[in-house]
Structure 1
Amino acid sequence: MNIKSLLAFILLITTTLSFSQNGRLLKQKKEQVKSIKVAYITNELNLTPDEATKFWPLYNEFEEKQNQIRREKLKAHLNRIDDTDFDNLSEKEATTLLAQMESSEDELHLLRKKFVANLKNVLPATKILKLKKAEDGFNKKLLQQIREKRGR
């Protein structure tokens, strides 16, 4: 999944979950989604107990760092865009904002490369490829469920 699609997905999930009026309910929903995702990925990758023991700490750390970058940097950039009247934005300001956004995207890309490099010590290449497919499949199913609930 490319970074833009993943960002859009995370923003969609965050937005959807943020409409919850109860903070505790929101936390429970996030934990529920995370539990389902863990089960889904574990099943799709057919992880052995030894692989799972080594894989999940790496994956959880990667996801936390990825979410942190999105929360702190990309969201800040998007908020600046929302707050900016584009007609009054100078070319220099726009160029600076674009450079900052590209830098954040590069940081996410480097994080992913480091994660994959670390996974090579834990999983065979075939399972690393399956991870990408499993993440995409999970995200697709989750979006489908959200759309179905909105359509009701």
Structure 2
Amino acid sequence: MKKHTLVALIFFLVFGVVQAQHTGGKYDREKLEAARVAFITTRLDLKPEQAQKFWPIFNVFNDSREINLKEMSELGKGKDLQLSEAEAKSRIDRKFEIQRKMIVDEEKFVKDLSGILTYNQIIQLNGLSREFARHIYQRRKDDDRK
């Protein structure tokens, strides 16, 4: 009974926070982060002791991943400009370096998590960030129609 109450509370928190976030076209980053934490915690069915160990590892990995993805995105900018062959090659080489680093980082992340989560939970985690983003996008789209 206690577990069901906790799950219901987390779901209400996620949906309540998502609804309360949209204020004049801007989102409260803190509330969005709290909703993301609740969403992932609930979907993975994390126990409190798992969550306590999981989130610091996840946050470090996620921050690093976002930095790498942003850098890769920056490498693709200016594609309409005429790049020298050397600059184009340099950008491609850097992209591959970043991708290799991301693979190494993800392998370490999975290894670190394997002592905290089951491998099934780790696989589920892979799609949860995208699922959360889709959920937020859909909620915003629905709110804009109202």
Cα gap change, 1:49 to 1:150, in 2 (>3 Å)? same
Distance 2:72 2:127 in 1: 25
Tell me: higher relative CO, structure 1 or 2? Use CA pairs within 8 A at least 6 residues apart.
Answer: 1
Higher radius of gyration, 1 or 2? 2
Structure 2 unaligned regions, length at least 5: 1-24
1:43 is aligned to: 42
- What is the letter of the counterpart of residue 49 of structure 2? D
1:118 is aligned to: 112
Which secondary structure does the structure 2 equivalent of 1:115 belong to?
helix
Which secondary structure does the structure 2 equivalent of 1:89 belong to?
coil
- What is the letter of the counterpart of residue 77 of structure 1? L
Cα gap change, 1:76 to 1:30, in 2 (>3 Å)? same
Q: Does 1:91 align with 2:89?
A: no
In terms of fraction of residues, the more helix-rich structure is 1
1:6-46 per-position Cα deviation (integer Å, ceiling 9, x unaligned): xxxxxxxxxxxxxx7xxxx66xx221111100000010011
Q: 1:3-18 to 2 correspondence within 5 Å?
A: none
TM superposition shift of 1:134: 2.2
Distance 2:88 2:53 in 1: 43
1:53 is aligned to: 52
**Would you say how many aligned residue pairs link Structure 1 and Structure 2?**
122
Distance 1:47 1:133 in 2: 16
Give the share of equivalent positions with the same residue, in percent.
Answer: 25
2:61 is aligned to: 62
1:74 is aligned to: 72
Distance 1:55 1:143 in 2: 26
Q: Does 1:139 align with 2:102?
A: no
- What is the letter of the counterpart of residue 32 of structure 1? K
> CA RMSD, aligned part only?
2.3
1:13 is aligned to: none
Which secondary structure does the structure 2 equivalent of 1:127 belong to?
helix
Cα gap change, 1:104 to 1:150, in 2 (>3 Å)? farther
2:3 is aligned to: none
Structure 1 unaligned regions, length at least 5: 1-19
